[in-house]
Structure 1
Amino acid sequence: MFASLPIAALRVFESAARHLSFKAAAAELSVTPAAVSHQVRGLESCLGVALFTRLPRGVALTVEGERLFHRMHGALLDVAQAIDELLPQPAAGSLTVTTTMSFAALWLVPRLGRFYQAHPDVHVRIDSDGAPVDLHQDARIDVAIRYGTSAWPSLLNACRLGETFGVYGSPARIATAGQETPELITVRWTDSTLYDDGWQAWCDAAGVRWLQEGATMRAYDEESYALQAAVAGQGLVLASSIMVSDSVRNGLLLPYRPDITVAGAAYTALCVPGRERHPPVRAFLAWLAREWA
């Protein structure tokens, strides 16, 4: 049934497609770039279609190449999992999760202890450098936790955590918040006006004119910095219900006008279809779904 499958060429193709580089695939497979090119050309000749577009620097997948890569990558993950399950003494599992620095610091890391209690043999590595990651191309990443309202049709949407935004401050700040125009704290993302729009929407809903009255606005690049500034009493912060939850539970921050909230976006856990069957990934996604329920 499988005698005619060019297994060696398909393995080389998967590596080259994942790296988008014949040179990187050669290094991974311990062969020469010329050998990778030869295997790919033979596969293209066998299939009768071009799988890569050769560029001055590197290669790009064609539509047919994309289709084959997605199927091959998932199939090889299944094979690798099957082999792991047959090993008499499998090594402790591990997975890599990419997310934002603020989500990792304010939500994920404080709760990982509960995951380790249930799965002591699984190690979670967190990648929070902020660089965009293509999960189909970067096999190092098992799970991405992404923020926004976008849809990711080529990825498995494992679970989703929605949020609202409210205003919070230290107990001392909350005690005097209604007596004068307060100092305000916000987050300034280079590619988003979410916080600016959110402050305006909250002020409109609350019936206050802080922005028109020239309230001092202190801006930070990261949500974790903004929350620390609020804890230190520097002003009132507009914050995500997700990000502020631990600070509120610990009494470091209190909500101001808790009846007034504005809609936010959501965090979504994503992975390449098929990856969710890998035991460490399956355990992590199941734990995440319970935490987000």
Structure 2
Amino acid sequence: MPLRLPPLSALRFFEAAGRHCSFKLAAAELSVTPSAVSHGIVGLEEALGVELFVREPGRLSLTPAGADYLVYVSEAFSLIAIGTQRLPDKRARRSILVTCAPTFASRWLLPRLARFYERWPAIDVTVDTSRRQVGFPVDGFDFAIRLSRAPVAGDRWARLFGEVHVPVCSAAYRERVPALQNATLIHVDTASEDWQAWLEATGIEGVGTAGSLRVDTIQLAFEAATAGLGVVLGRRPLVDRDLESGALVEIGQPAIQSQTAYWLVSSEGAGHRPDLIGFRQWLLEEAGHIEERTPAGS
């Protein structure tokens, strides 16, 4: 007798909504409407005869039964994804899917991809910079590049490089406001380490009293500094091309090694495909060159 399974589309809605505890975020991840997710889960609950979510104004949470069921559904999707990744793919072209932050992608990864294509001309690379939690292997990514103080999952995490933080601004702004104590500081609200960490590490006092500008991305902070709006905490190597071109200049303050580092996180199936093995090795080689050229205090 064949197994009786709920609709797989409804299970996909449930897994994403349960992971995010949000119909809206699940809908964005799956490229459907929140209404479609909600209706699909209602149908799933009716088919199973059990409530999976507690729905309260402004809040969604799993019921005990839903939390228990999510473990099995997530594991099932993971097994399907792993099995799919391990299938021998006879297509002429392969694709590698990478997720990382937008500034990292535009300032470090994309400028180097030409060297990867020289080695692997028949491989397609897709770079995803959406800000969402990634679940391996359910979301289908082969690699994620993340900032963290330490590896989270053992040998699936490989260190790429750490950042060196140094205050930078436009040359015109440095001439106008030569003292950091009198400068407008540009803050990145989403950064795990920003001015407060730099000030604590250097012990410099009396900074930040001249006002501030707050933005939500490192890229926007660099652009604000280039426009002469203040001083930003430059993050090497991401800021290196601006320093080399003269768009930004150091202001003569100490450079501090960050506490966090960029880590390459591999999916469970990444060790079974030659193209993924090659991409991982290439990234580690590129990161090694960066570490050699960007020592702390340089």
Letter in 2 for 1:146: R
Larger Rg computed on CA atoms: 1
Paired residues for 1:248-287 under 5 Å: 248-257=243-252, 259-287=254-282
Per-residue CA distance 1:34-57 (angstroms, 9 max, x = gap): xxx9xxxxxxxxxxxxxx9x7536
Distance 2:233 2:116 in 1: 29
Match of 1:42 in 2: none
SS in 1 for 2:130: coil
- Structure with the bigger RCO (C-alpha within 8 Å, sep 6+) is 1
Match of 2:296 in 1: none
Letter in 1 for 2:194: Y
Match of 1:167 in 2: 167
Letter in 2 for 1:151: P
Distance 1:150 1:164 in 2: 17
Per-residue CA distance 1:16-69 (angstroms, 9 max, x = gap): 9x94759xxxxxxxxxx9xxx9xxxxxxxxxxxxxx9x7536966576776776
Letter in 2 for 1:209: G
Distance 1:163 1:277 in 2: 31
Percentage of matched positions with identical amino acids = 24
Paired residues for 1:102-181 under 5 Å: 102-139=103-140, 141-153=141-153, 156-179=156-179, 181=182
Distance 2:155 2:78 in 1: 10
Report how many aligned residue pairs link the two structures: 243
Q: Which runs of 5+ in 1 are unaligned?
A: 1-7, 23-32, 38-51
Q: Does the CA-based 8 Å contact 1:165-1:198 persist in structure 2?
A: no
Distance 1:62 1:155 in 2: 26
Match of 2:57 in 1: none
Structure 2 residue 192 is the aligned partner of structure 1 residue 197:
no
SS in 1 for 2:182: coil
- The 1:193/1:157 distance shift into structure 2, 3 A limit, reads closer
RMSD after superposition: 3.6
TM-score, L = length of structure 2: 0.67
Distance 1:284 1:254 in 2: 34
Letter in 1 for 2:124: H
Paired residues for 1:49-64 under 5 Å: 56=52
Letter in 2 for 1:280: D
How far 1:234 moved relative to its partner? 1.6
Q: Does the CA-based 8 Å contact 2:162-2:258 persist in structure 1?
A: no
How far 1:143 moved relative to its partner? 0.9
How far 1:134 moved relative to its partner? 0.6
Match of 2:225 in 1: 230
